[in-house]
Structure 1
Amino acid sequence: MQTTECPDCVIEVQNLTKVYKMGEIEVHALRGVSFKIFKGEVISIMGPSGSGKSTLMNTLGCLDRPTAGAYFLDGELVSRMNDDQLASVRNRKVGFVFQSFNLLPRMTALANVELPLRYAGQRKGRLDIARQSLEAVGLADRIYHKPTELSGGQQQRVAIARALVNDPAILMADEPTGNLDSKSGKEIMELILRLNQTRGTTIIIVTHDPTVAAQTQRVIRLSDGLLVEESA
C-alpha cells in the first residue's frame, strides 16, 4: 500500500497527471506535478488560463480524481477513493471559498454557515458553533442578515465562516478577492491571514493577482500542466 513520505505534510502530491478525453482528442491538464504543503502554510497557485490550476484545485479539493499519481490529504491516500469516499473526505477536511460567495440567498448568514454541520450529520450545538464561526470573522452583529442585506466583503466573510465551521484540514480559496473592491479585498486577505495565524489552518489560494500571491508564504506556478516554479 502506498504511503506518504511526509508525515508533517497536510498535502503531498506525487507525479500527478490528469488527462481529459474529448472524443478522439486527449487534453493533458496536469503532467506529472509533485509538491508538498506543510501544516499551517499559506500557499498561492498561479498560472495563465489553461495552465492546469483549476484542475489542480479540483483535485486538491477532492472534487475530482487524477488519472495517475498519488495525492495524500492529511495522511490519507485520496487519489484512489471512489466518489462516496471522496465526498466524505471533502466534507470533513476541505473548506471552500469562492469568488462568487455561493451563499443561499433566502437563508440568513447563520443558516448558511450552519449548513456544513447539517451535511456532516452533527446534531448538537450547530447554531452555537455557526455563531462562533461568524464571530471569528467579525460578523457577530450580522448573523440574522440575508446575503442581499450584506456588502460584498461581508458576504465573503460569511463564506469564510462557512468554510471554517467544520475545522477543515485545508481552506481552499478560489480568487477570494476577485469580486471585491480594493478596500474589501485587502480586508479579506487580512482576515484570511489572521485566521491562519490564530487557528493554524492550511490555506491554498488560487489567484491571478500578484498582490494576493505576494502575501502568501510560497507560490506554485503552473504552465501547460507543468509545475514551472515553486518560490518563497
Structure 2
Amino acid sequence: MELAKIRNKARQEGAPGATEEVSTPLPEPVVLQPDHVVPPALTLSDDSAAQQAAPVSFPGPAMARAVPAAAHFNPLAVILAGREHDRSTNGTVLPETEQEHQTAASEERFEEFLCFRLGDEEYGINIMEIKEIIKSRELTEVPRTPGFVDGVLSLRGVIVPVFTMRKRLGMSLDYDAGQERIIIVRCGDSLHGLRVDRVTDVVKIAATDREATPSMLEGVAREFVSGIGRTGKRMLIILDICKVVDTALGEVG
C-alpha cells in the first residue's frame, strides 16, 4: 500500500504513531564467512558491449537471382577465339581458309641479305651470318698465310682474320678504297672479316626469287656461291660464307 494511504488510514483510525513516518526496513548486512567467495561481477568486453549496443537491422526481402544456364561448349568458337588472341598478340592476320594460309606462307618465306659491291658486281650475305660492320683499319700481318688473308685484327680481345674479297675471288686490286668496309661474319664458333669495296643496303628476297648456282661457274668459284637472288631489277650473287672462309679450298684460279 502506498505511504499516503497508510497515513490517512492511521489518522482516521486514530492509531498511535499515525504521524510517524513509515520507513521500509533496510536489509541486514551480509557477513562474509572466511570460506565464502563472492562471485565476480559479470562484465562485458568492449566488443561484446559494442555488439549488444549496435542496432540490428534487417534488410528487405532478398531479390531472386536468375541462375545462368549452363554454357554450351562450342569448339569452333574456342578455335576462333584462339586465332583472335594470336592476331592481337603477334600483330599478324591469320588467313580464313587453308588455301589462303598456304598462299600467305609462300609469300612470307623470305630471307634478308646484306648487299655489298666488288667493282660492278653485287653480292649478298644472309644477315643471320653477320655480327657487325666496321671501318677498314690497319691489320697485323701473319706469316705463312694464304695470299687472300691480309692479316688479323683484334675485335674486343678476339683475334679475327681478315680476307680481302677481291683477292679471294680473283679480282683486280685496282679500285677506290674510300668506302671500304670490313664485314665481320660468323661461321660456327669462329669470326672472320671480309674486306669489301662498299656496303650498299639490306634487301628481302623471297624463296621463289632464288635460283640455283649457274652452271657456267666452275671450280672454287662455284663452291663460294650458294645461289642467285633477284629483287626488282637487281641480281645478287649470294655467297656461302663458310665456304668463303675455308682456307682449305685454295684460291680462285
Q: Same fold (TM over 0.5)?
A: no
* Bigger CA radius of gyration: 2
TM-score normalised to the size of structure 2?
A: 0.22
TM-score, normalised by the number of residues in structure 1? 0.24
Q: Which structure: greater helix fraction?
A: 1
Larger RCO of the pair (alpha carbons < 8 Å, separation 6+): 1
